[in-house]
Amino acid sequence: MLATHAAALAADQPIAGTRLTLKRSGSGTKLVFVSKDPAFLFPTFGSGDDPSIGGATVDVFSAAEGAAALGMPAGVGKPGWELKSTSPSYRFTNKTAPV
């Protein structure tokens, strides 16, 4: 028997947001995105799509400054991901990230 394994990549999915805030100051940049889209399937904690396990990337596009990819690596803690089962929600924090 021969078995092969292919890497599964996440597909881009549109998601409705209730808030999007991008603030830039002398000490860094803060991006806040909040969604309560009932049609979006948020990943289950511990699943293959859980960003605390596989990380995440957010692509931001600006007419004035072009595109930027914001990478958030896997890992729980500070810096890293915080998981809250009450919402459920995911939060990534890295106060020492470069600009």
Q: Contact 21/29 with Cβ under 8 angstroms?
A: no
C-alpha of 15 from chain center: 12
pLDDT at 2 > cutoff 70:
no
**How many CA atoms are closer than 13 Å to the CA of 41, on its beta-carbon side?**
7
The predicted model gives 17-43 an average pLDDT of: 81
pLDDT in tens, 39-84: 877 788 888 888 899 998 888 777 888 887 888 889 999 889 998 8
Spatial separation of the C-alpha atoms in residues 60 and 45, rounded to whole Å: 25
